[in-house]
Amino acid sequence: MKRKTALLCAFLACAYLWVFLVLQYAQPRTITLRIGLFAGSNWNVPQGDSYAFLDTVAARFEATHPGVKIRYVSGILQEDYSEWLAEQELSGTMPDLFFLPSEDFALYAGLDALRDLTPFIEADPACDLAGFYPAPLADGIEDGKYYALPVECVPRLMFVNKTLLSREGIPLPHDGWTWEDFLAICRRVTRDTDGDGRVDQFGVYGYTWEDAVVTSGATLFWDQGRTSRFADARVEDALRFLIDLHQLPEIREARERDFDLGRVAFRPFNFAAYRAYRPYPWRIKKATDFEWECVRLPKGPAGANTSPIQTLLMAMSAQTSHEDLAWEFLKAISMEKENQHLVLEKTAALPVRRDVLEAATPEEIFGAGTGESDRSPHAISAVLDDGKSPDRFQGYAAVMRLADQRIQEIVDGVRPFDNALNQLQKEVNALLQETP
């Protein structure tokens, strides 16, 4: 009797185990892909729903990948995002994929926190790198390998107060304009307009030595940031031009509010600000008394009208256990036309795919009610094609702080110009040698 009872119990236990296993494995398994991102815009402009872009891409991906859920932690402020990512890396809880501002790329590449995407790219016939603009794509490359792909980007352009120039009888600068053209207009518009003895109309606000250098034809850093070329003759040309600009009263007196009130002719800005502030309602809150346009930065004698390009990348964590699925999502957000078009709809940035931008309407790029713009999708596309990625390497921020300080001393006349750039180059190179 006891033997029969034991056998019955064993049978029932096996039956229950079988039922449990059937139920367990008969149900489709849910895989969760975790995404790292921050609240707000990467470009320091107003953005209504900062998660709208990712939410829409995620919904589309989940619809075509049953059993997959896209999840992220909301509410991480942009200024706290780098620290949050670092904490995730140290604790071994990095998200499978994460957005990465291009200025942070060198840091995480140096920490071996990024999965090398090169094998995925080489093995995937559907991967199309040719459709990317060169500068955004280059931002995710380290030592010839791909560690991130671009998702959105913005060029830096020159904002022009059309109303002020028109009042002064000056035509809008053309795309091939030069430093000499720029300086001549600044000299012409700089004056006291109300007769109180103080200059109240200005040529430019916010133009930096980096703006001059990028259009001078010079390359500041070589050998992946191991040496610098601050003593290049083209850098010298750029600084002499900047000093000429600083001889004008407006450089010392103009403020951001002067530009907002329509008293400044020129201001370099990223294109996201142009997109954010032109359409209603932001246009009512910013620049209420003048019309503005954007043109390329003026070029130096040996340079070109080049725009620096900022990029928001997406990288795959080296810790992910869902690498194949993460690769599929990465392709979806950075390569699929429908999702790249969402960049225009949901953000202030521009898509990183040439075919998407060139197929857009002027209204989609410049905003509703901007039919008066002289720009076209192909003109902006040409800016991105010719654009340049800023140098990014470990120790870059410290080097640029030193350069900012020394160059400001040169421009202010505190440091004599003669031999100053040679000395700066020696200081920078010494600092670069100290960087691991």
* pLDDT (tens digit per residue) in 113-144: 999 999 999 999 999 999 999 999 999 999 99
Sign of torsion over alpha carbons 126, 130, 135, 141? positive
DSSP-derived pairing of the beta strands 202-204 and 264-270: parallel
31-155+312-386 and 156-308+391-434 agree in CATH topology: yes
According to the model, what pLDDT value does residue 331 have? 98
DSSP-derived pairing of the beta strands 31-36 and 97-101: parallel
Asked if 296 contacts 158 with a C-beta cutoff of 8 angstroms, the reply is yes
Return the higher-pLDDT residue of 60 and 24: 60
Q: Return the axis-axis angle of helices 233-246 and 420-434, rounded to nearest 10°.
A: 120
DSSP letter string over 28-74? PPPEEEEEE--BS-TTSS--S-TTHHHHHHHHHHHHHSTTEEEEE--
Is the CATH number 3.40.190.10 carried by domain 156-308+391-434? Answer: yes
| pLDDT tens column, 28-43 | 578 999 999 999 899 9
Q: How far apart are CA 226 and CA 253, in angstroms?
A: 38
Asked if 389 contacts 135 with a C-beta cutoff of 8 angstroms, the reply is yes
Asked if 429 contacts 227 with a C-beta cutoff of 8 angstroms, the reply is yes
Q: Is 418 exposed, middle or buried (0-12, 13-18, 19+ CB in 10 A)?
A: exposed
Return the higher-pLDDT residue of 198 and 60: 60
Q: How far apart are CA 178 and CA 232, in angstroms?
A: 20
Any residues with CB less than 8 A from the CB of 106 and at least 6 apart, and which? 142, 392, 393, 394, 396
Helices (H), 336-419: 337-346, 354-358, 362-366, 377-386, 396-411
Q: How far apart are CA 107 and CA 393, in angstroms?
A: 8
* Preceding peptide of 281 cis, ω within 30°: yes
Provide the CA 252 distance to its chain's centre, in angstroms: 29
CATH topology for the 31-155+312-386 domain: D-Maltodextrin-Binding Protein; domain 2 (3.40.190)
| pLDDT tens column, 49-74 | 889 999 999 999 999 999 999 999 99
Domain ranges within the chain, ordered by starting residue: 31-155+312-386, 156-308+391-434
Average pLDDT over residues 162-188: 96
Which of 42, 141, 36, 34 minimizes the C-alpha distance to 86? 36
Using 50, 70 and 90 to split pLDDT, how confident is the model at 254?
confident
Q: Residue type for 253, please?
A: E
Asked if 160 contacts 292 with a C-beta cutoff of 8 angstroms, the reply is yes
Q: Return the axis-axis angle of helices 420-434 and 396-411, rounded to nearest 10°.
A: 160
* Residue 380 pLDDT > 50: yes
Structure tokens that stand for 246 in this block? 């600083």
Residue 267 pairs in a beta bridge with 159
Q: How far apart are CA 347 and CA 53, in angstroms?
A: 7
Return the higher-pLDDT residue of 287 and 84: 84
Average pLDDT over residues 208-217: 97
Residue 178 pairs in a beta bridge with 299
Helices (H), 173-232: 179-189, 209-214
Q: How far apart are CA 341 and CA 319, in angstroms?
A: 30
Asked if 191 contacts 264 with a C-beta cutoff of 8 angstroms, the reply is no
Say if pTM beats, i.e. exceeds, 0.85.
Answer: yes
Q: How far apart are CA 240 and CA 170, in angstroms?
A: 25
Residue 309 pairs in a beta bridge with 155
Q: How many CB atoms lie within 10 A of CB 36?
A: 21
According to the model, what pLDDT value does residue 297 have? 98
Structure tokens that stand for 115 in this block? 């999965």
Share of the chain above pLDDT 70, in %: 88
Any residues with CB less than 8 A from the CB of 237 and at least 6 apart, and which? 216, 300, 301, 302
- Give the three-class secondary structure for 203: strand
Q: How far apart are CA 400 and CA 379, in angstroms?
A: 31
Any residues with CB less than 8 A from the CB of 49 and at least 6 apart, and which? 346
